[in-house]
């Protein structure tokens, strides 16, 4: 199959994806990264899952290919820290996406879904010099609001190469800091909970804020700080580090909300399912 190269002048992973989607001619759009290994039946399993579930998008497991053994503090079972290096495993049976979302490194979407809700938001998603993210979560929230359905399919598997420089505490701290910034940008657009976007039903227009941050989050930060110190004192560095990472995410939230403090929030796009980010191919 011929490979087509296209130049996208706007910097960001989301803009690049939208460019590719606009140029693609198939009815199923598959997204992945350049550092994964796929099995020979990967695309076959994707097509079969979309047909079997009669859904709009699917995602699957992402297993690690470690360049070097992971450190002792890295968990061997799925959890919060797996997302830092783009790993995912929701178990051995299919589940409908809702409170859980897929990873863009192993995802397939029907073209009709993009035609209904638009592409990925270029305001979020990886850019050079940052670890911005949340573009897949934002798209899934918009798709869900528009009535689209997606499923996690455990038989759709890729292996993700994990270089040793991503298995450091400093990288994890930086990732969570940018996660906080990304969540704050999403909050400004949608008014969704910065801790649990898919789960919370809070009306943030009535929640007291300090510097653009919901006031209760400062209390949560004090609790996280207490838990960080207490876990370290008890000899539980794993728990201490995980609670510390919440504080790094909070620091990113505070930075971005303070930066956006003079900008009025527009909290309707995701909640009303408005179609956004119409994809157009770049000029020839």
Q: What is the pLDDT of residues 91-137, one digit of tens each?
A: 999 999 998 999 999 999 999 999 999 999 988 888 888 989 899 99
- What's the N-to-C CA distance of the chain in angstroms? 21
Residue 162 lies in a domain: yes
Helix (H/G/I), strand (E/B), else coil: 109: strand
284 in a domain, yes or no? no
Q: How far is CA 129 from each of CA 151, 175, 231, rounded to the nearest angstrom?
A: 32, 12, 33
The answer to whether residue 278 sits within a structural domain is no
pTM of the shown model: 0.88
Residue 266 has pLDDT above 80, yes or no: no
Q: Is 280 among the domain residues?
A: no
Q: What is the pLDDT of residue 262?
A: 74
Q: Total structural domains in the chain?
A: 1
Strand partners, 31: 107
Give a yes or no: residue 155 inside a domain.
Answer: yes
Residues β-bridged to residue 248: none
Taking only the tens place, the pLDDT of each residue in 187-201 is 988 888 898 887 777
Q: Using an 8 Å Cβ cutoff, are 156 and 52 in contact? A: no
Q: Is the pLDDT of residue 3 over 90?
A: no
pLDDT tens readout for residues 214-259: 999 999 999 999 999 999 999 998 889 999 999 999 999 999 999 9
Rg of the chain taking only CA atoms, in angstroms: 19
> Looking at residue 274, what is its pLDDT?
39
For residue 215, CA distances in Å to 206, 211, 212, 219, 251 come to: 11, 9, 9, 7, 14
If you search the block for the tokens 């008890």, which residue do you land on? 234
Q: What is the CATH number of the domain that holds 81?
A: 3.90.550
Q: Is residue 89 assigned to a domain?
A: yes
Cβ burial of 8 (10 Å; 0-12, 13-18, 19+) is middle
Residue 281 is assigned to a structural domain of this protein: no
For residue 216, the enclosing domain spans 13-272
d(CA 18, CA 115): 12
| Angle formed by the axes of helices 237-259 and 169-190, nearest 10° | 40
Please indicate, yes or no, if residue 79 is contained in any of the structural domains: yes
Average pLDDT of the chain, as a whole number: 89
Closest CA to 244 of 175, 185, 186, 167: 175
């Amino acid at each position: 199959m011929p490979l087509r190269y296209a130049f996208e002048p706007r910097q960001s992973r989301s803009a690049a994806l939208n460019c590719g989607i606009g140029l693609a001619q198939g009815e199923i759009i598959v997204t992945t990264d350049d550092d994964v290994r796929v099995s020979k039946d990967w695309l076959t399993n994707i097509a079969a899952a979309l047909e079997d579930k009669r859904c709009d998008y699917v995602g699957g497991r992402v297993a690690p290919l470690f360049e070097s053994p992971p450190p002792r503090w890295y968990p061997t079972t799925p959890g919060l820290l797996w997302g830092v290096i783009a790993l995912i495993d929701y178990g051995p049976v299919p589940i409908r996406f809702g409170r859980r979302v897929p990873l863009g490194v192993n995802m397939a979407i029907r073209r009709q879904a993009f035609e209904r809700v638009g592409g990925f938001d270029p305001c979020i998603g990886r850019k050079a010099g940052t670890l911005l993210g949340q573009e897949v979560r934002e798209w899934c929230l918009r798709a869900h609001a528009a009535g689209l359905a997606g499923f996690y399919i455990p038989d759709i598997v890729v292996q993700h190469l994990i270089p040793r420089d991503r298995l450091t505490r400093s990288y994890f701290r930086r990732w969570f800091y940018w996660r906080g910034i990304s969540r704050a940008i999403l909050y400004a657009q949608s008014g969704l909970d910065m801790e649990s976007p898919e789960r919370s039903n809070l009306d943030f227009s009535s929640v007291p804020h300090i510097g653009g941050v919901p006031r209760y989050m400062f209390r949560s930060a004090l609790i996280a700080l207490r838990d960080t110190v207490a876990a370290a004192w008890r000899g539980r560095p794993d728990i201490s580090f995980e609670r510390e990472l919440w504080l790094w995410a909070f620091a990113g939230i505070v930075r971005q909300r303070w930066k956006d403090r003079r900008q009025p929030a527009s909290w309707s796009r995701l909640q009303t399912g408005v179609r956004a980010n119409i994809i157009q191919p770049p000029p020839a």
